[in-house]
Amino acid sequence: MERTSKLSYIFSGKSAFLKYGFIMGCLLFAMQGKAQTLTAIGNVSGTPSDMKQSELKAVLMGETQRWKSGKRIVIALMKTNTPLGKTTSSKIYDMSGDELNKYWLSLVFQGKAQAPVFFTSVTELQNFVAQNPGAIGIIDKPVANAEVRSVMIDGKSSF
C-alpha cells in the first residue's frame, strides 16, 4: 500500500510538471507569434506607399537598386543577432542571421549592391529612415510621422 501511494505521488507531480510545461510552451508559442509580425517603413521621399511582397523581397535582396522615381534605395535592418533581426532574416530572407550577413558580404564584395545599414534599436532604425530619402526598413509595428510611413505590402500594414 505504501508503494502505491509513493507512485501516485510521483505521477501526480509529473502530471503537474507536464501541465505546467504545456502551459509555458503555449505562452512561448503565443509570444513568438506576436514577434513574427513585420512592418516595412519608408522615408516619405522616394519610397512607395504600397508594394507587392515580391517587390519588397527584390528590394531587400538587393536585386532592385533604385525606386521608380530614380532615387537610390537604402536598406535599414536590425542587426541579425537581435530578436527582430532574427525574425527578419528567417521570414523575409529565409536565412539564418549568419547566412544573411554572408549573403550581403558576398554582394558587396562583388560590387553588385550596397550593404544595408544595421541597427541595434528600432528607434535608431526609424530615425535613419526618416533622415534618408529613399530609405526602407523593417520593424515590428506600423509607424507614421512626418518623415516615415508604413509601406503597405499586398494591401496590409503588417505581414
pLDDT of residue 75: 98
Pairing of strands 50-51, 148-153: parallel
Contacts 24+ apart (CB under 8 A), 32-36: 35/83, 35/84, 35/87, 35/140, 36/87, 36/91
pLDDT in tens, 96-132: 999 999 999 999 999 999 999 999 999 999 999 999 9
The grid cell for 84 is: 527582430
Beta sheet of 135-139, edge-to-edge order: 50-51, 148-153, 39-43, 135-139, 74-78, 117-119
Domain boundaries along the sequence of the chain: 1-35, 39-153
Residue 77 host element (H or E): strand 74-78
Residue 134 bridge partners (DSSP) = none
Is the CB of residue 104 less than 8 Å from the CB of residue 42? no
Which of 9-18, 37-46, 102-111 bottoms out in mean pLDDT, i.e. has the lowest? 9-18
Angle ∠(36,42,48) on CA atoms, nearest 5: 110
pLDDT of residue 3: 55
Q: Which CATH superfamily is 39-153 part of?
A: Periplasmic binding protein-like II (3.40.190.10)
- Give the C-alpha separation, 91 to 38, whole Å: 9
How confident is the prediction for the chain on average, in pLDDT?
85
Task: Give the model's confidence band at 7: pLDDT under 50 very low, under 70 low, under 90 confident, else very high.
Answer: very low
